Every structure is written in C-alpha cells, then in structure tokens.
C-alpha cells in the first residue's frame, strides 16, 4: 500500500465507528495490488535464509507426506467435503445477525468438541442484521418486463408504491462525473461497467449509490460484478456516504443491464418501477477461536481462518463454507496425528465478514496488544478449488521463508507465491498493521461466476480438490508453526 492509503486506513481504524469499517472495505477492494510472482529460487533468498534454515525446511517433507496421505488416502479422505455438505445443507445461508448464523456457530463448536478438541473460545460483538424482504423491478417502457434483482447490503427501502423514473446509463464513473447534474437528477442511474477484475469493478457496487445520490438520483442499479451470467444477479455490500441522501440500490443481471443499455443507446426512453423493502438493526454474534496449543511457545500464534457468515442467497458453500472447513480441519488433523508444533495453531471463524469485516475488526481491536504474538495469519475466502500456493504480504525475508516452504508442494502444483499488499479480506485489518499473512491461491477462475448468488451451493465444490486444499492448508500451517524461526516482520 502507498503511504497515503496507509494513513487513511489508520485514521479510519482509529475512529472506531461502523462507518469506518465500510470505508475501509471500499478502500481495500479498490486498491488490491496486481499480483506478481516471486521467483521460485533466488540468490537473494539463499543469502537471507542461509543453508541451515533451507535444509531445516526441506526436512519437513516426510511430515508433509504423512499429512497428505492421511487426508488424501487415509481416515480423513473426503471428510472435509462430507462435513461441509452436512453443514451447508443443514443451515443454508447464514446472514449476519441471524439466528441461523448463531445456530451454525454452536454446531461448529459441538463438531470440534466431538473431536476432543476443547480449547474453544467465543468472543461476542455487535453485528449488522439487514433483512431482505420484497424486491421487484418492472420495466414499464419501452416494453413490459420483470427485471431480475438482488438488493445490495444495507440498502434502504423504497416507498410502498416504489420508485418510478427514467433510467440513465453510464459505463464508468468517469462518464458519470462528466454528466451534468440535470441529466441525473430525479433519475434512476444504472452503472453498466464491464467486469475486468473484482478489485476494479466492485467499486461500482460499493460506491454506486453514494455517487449517484450526489447528483440527485432517486435510485441506483449496478451491473452484477461477474464475468459470466445465466441471468443471475449478484448481491454484495454497498456503503452510503455521510451527508449524502441514501437511495435504494440493487444489482441486476448482465443480460438485463445490456438490454437496458441497448434501448438507451438507441435513444428509447426506459422507465422502471423499483420496489424494495428491507429492515436493518444490530444483533449480537460471535467470533470463534479454536486452539491447538504449541509445545514450546504457546503464546505465539499461527492463525488459519475463514468466515462463517454468508449472504442470504445460495448456501454459502463456496463463500465461505470451504474456507471455514479447511481451517476447522487443520487443528483437528494435527491433533489426530499427534503433531504438536512449537507454536499454537489457532483456527478462527470470523463472523459478519460480508457486511464489512465486522468480526475481524472486532478481533483486531480486542487483541491489539497481543498482535506481536501473531507469527503468521492465513485466510481462505476466494474458493477452495485446486490449490496453487499462497498470496502473501510480508517482508522480503518472510516471503523467502514461505517460498521455501511452498517448494515442498511442487508435486501438486501448489508452489506459487504471489506478492500482494492485501491478501484475503478479513485478515487485511491485521496484515495492514505489519503482521505477515497469506490467503489461499487456488484455481478459482470461475469463482466469480457463482459469488454472492443463488448458485453458491455444494454443486460448485469438488471432494478431491477440497481434500487437496485441506492437506495443503494443514501442512503449511504446521510447518510455519514448528520451524525454529519466527516469520520476520
């Protein structure tokens, strides 16, 4: 991150207000740096690490193989998939603040206790609870048509009769900024930005309503943030700005966005009626912490994590049930194999990620005086498809250590180290304080086809790939937690 962004984040973090979390997420999404691959071997890394440490890391090959054999061929084969399947089928979507989410947290605690792992702590916090109710968009002109829609998180409601107005279409914020206020005032704004990357395009979802309201729009719509669609709208969070009128906002499908755009480009008047009803309040939820205590330095932590909440569509199998369960499995597998590393392996199930990294922000605040004990933090929140390595933030020496560890996984094509300032979502609030961390880098080319839609179900998960992720996640966590050196900052 550049110094200006870091200063901004520090200011927002210090304010302690819910609004700051939303702003932080906007900044996080917008500023994800383009990844670049670290050379697999380099003279620089050899000079930084030395032969003794390189040889020590390579000596974990047999333990890594033991973990893989246990997960891929032994008693744990398909267990991650089976447990995930039972979980998402039982609970379905797990919206922040819902009773279903709290019941799912209790279920995960019991599932862990059944494995005779009882070092479990929950930490309460206040979370947003936004409930989607009626949602309907009807095209009135130039022809009658129902428009598929999903309201965006925290959207306000329309009046009972809805909002009816002409539509104006913009392909970019630049085009919108150049439009005179009178072209926007009193209209429904559609941002029809073509998907490039999630980091770039999601800003239209997160900021669209606030930007449109600044010029007097009565509602805003966004082309769903996805490269592919079968008429499926994608929901997600959006954030209202202070001192700007809040307007209803929703996502529509690629197909409907392009249809409206074609009418608009031909000079035909497009009139929509938008009816949206929702409620918003604050509820109590919990982060869940599960520890496999270290044998030598139990106060030092290697954290594996995923978020347990999901959007209210689909089953939340991919986002983030898979990440939740590979992180649950890591301490379970190590306990079963009697592999006790020197440092503590802590699994965290973040709550309320989808509505603004609420759980992670609360954890960072509660444990801010202990962050020096976080040796390394990991998160899986972009799919659990075939593992390819890690996306990591940290010093050059830290990256060299992780790159050396990843060499042990060349046989499954998971030795890639990708450099990024912002790995993961939840863990960014901790990594930006200087803690080294990484997210799972996996073959998730189709992840955003299903992201935040009704299509996020068990059908997108693969048992063999989930086993590979589980074995990889567990082995990496163990090696980092057991090697003789801390990951440097």
| Residues carrying an active site annotation | 353
- List CB contacts of 342: < 8 A, sequence separation 6 or more: 294, 295, 296, 297, 300, 481, 482
Between the alpha carbon of residue 212 and those of residues 254, 260, 427, 469, the distances in Å are 20, 18, 31, 42
Phi, psi of 459 (to 5 degrees): -65, -20
Report yes or no: 237 and 355 within 8 Å, Cβ to Cβ. Answer: yes
Residue 446: how many CA atoms within 13 Å on its side-chain side?
Answer: 10
Q: Is 456 left (phi over 0), alpha (psi -120 to 50) or beta?
A: beta
N-term to C-term CA, the chain: 16
Using CA atoms, how far apart are residues 70 and 78, in angstroms rounded to an integer? 11
Report yes or no: 318 and 444 within 8 Å, Cβ to Cβ. Answer: no
Using CA atoms, how far apart are residues 265 and 175, in angstroms rounded to an integer? 14
Q: Which of 200, 147, 152 is nearest to 173 (CA)?
A: 200
How many angstroms from the chain centroid is the CA of residue 102?
Answer: 19
């Amino acid at each position: 991150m550049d110094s200006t962004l870091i200063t901004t984040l520090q200011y927002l973090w210090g304010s302690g207000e819910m609004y700051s979390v939303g702003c932080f997420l906007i900044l996080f999404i917008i500023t994800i740096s383009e990844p670049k691959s670290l050379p697999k071997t380099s003279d620089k890394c050899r000079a930084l690490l030395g032969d003794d440490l390189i040889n020590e890391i390579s000596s974990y090959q047999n333990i890594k193989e033991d973990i893989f054999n246990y997960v891929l061929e032994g008693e744990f084969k398909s267990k991650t998939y089976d447990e995930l399947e039972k979980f998402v089928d039982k609970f379905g979507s797990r919206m922040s603040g819902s009773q279903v989410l709290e019941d799912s947290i209790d279920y995960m605690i019991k599932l862990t206790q059944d494995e005779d792992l009882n070092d479990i702590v929950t930490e309460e916090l206040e979370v947003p609870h936004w409930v989607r109710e009626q949602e309907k968009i009807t095209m009135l002109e130039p022809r009658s048509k129902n428009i598929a829609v999903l309201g965006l998180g925290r959207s306000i409601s329309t009046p009972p009769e809805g909002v009816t107005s002409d539509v104006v279409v913009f392909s970019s914020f630049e085009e919108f900024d150049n439009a005179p206020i009178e072209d926007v005032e009193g209209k429904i704004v559609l941002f029809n930005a073509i998907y490039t990357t999630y980091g770039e395009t999601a800003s239209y979802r997160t900021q669209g309503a606030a930007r449109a309201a600044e010029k007097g729009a009565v509602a805003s719509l966004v082309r769903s943030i996805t490269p592919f669609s079968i008429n499926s709208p994608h929901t997600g969070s959006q954030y209202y700005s202070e001192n700007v009128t809040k307007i209803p906002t929703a996502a529509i499908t690629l197909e409907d966005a392009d249809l409206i755009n074609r009418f608009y480009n031909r000079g035909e008047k497009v009139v929509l009626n938008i009816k949206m009803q929702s409620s918003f309040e604050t509820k109590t939820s919990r982060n869940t912490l599960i520890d496999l205590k270290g044998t030598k330095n139990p106060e030092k932590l290697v954290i594996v994590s995923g978020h347990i909440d999901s959007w209210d569509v689909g089953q939340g199998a991919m986002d983030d049930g898979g990440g939740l369960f590979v992180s649950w499995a890591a301490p379970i597998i190590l306990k079963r194999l009697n592999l006790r590393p020197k440092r503590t392996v802590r699994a965290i199930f973040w709550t309320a990620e989808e509505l603004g990294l609420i759980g992670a922000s609360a954890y960072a605040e509660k444990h801010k005086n202990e962050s020096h004990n976080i040796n390394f933090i990991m998160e899986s929140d972009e799919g659990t498809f075939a593992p390819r390595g890690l996306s990591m933030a940290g010093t050059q020496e830290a990256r060299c250590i992780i790159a050396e560890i990843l060499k042990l996984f060349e046989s499954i094509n998971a030795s890639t180290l990708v450099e990024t300032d912002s790995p993961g979502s939840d863990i960014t609030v901790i990594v930006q304080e200087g803690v080294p961390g990484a997210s799972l880098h996996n073959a998730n080319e189709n992840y955003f086809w299903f992201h935040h839609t009704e299509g996020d179900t068990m059908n997108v998960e693969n048992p063999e790939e989930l086993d590979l992720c589980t074995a990889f996640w567990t082995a990496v966590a163990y090696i980092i937690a057991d090697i003789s050196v801390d990951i440097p900052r």
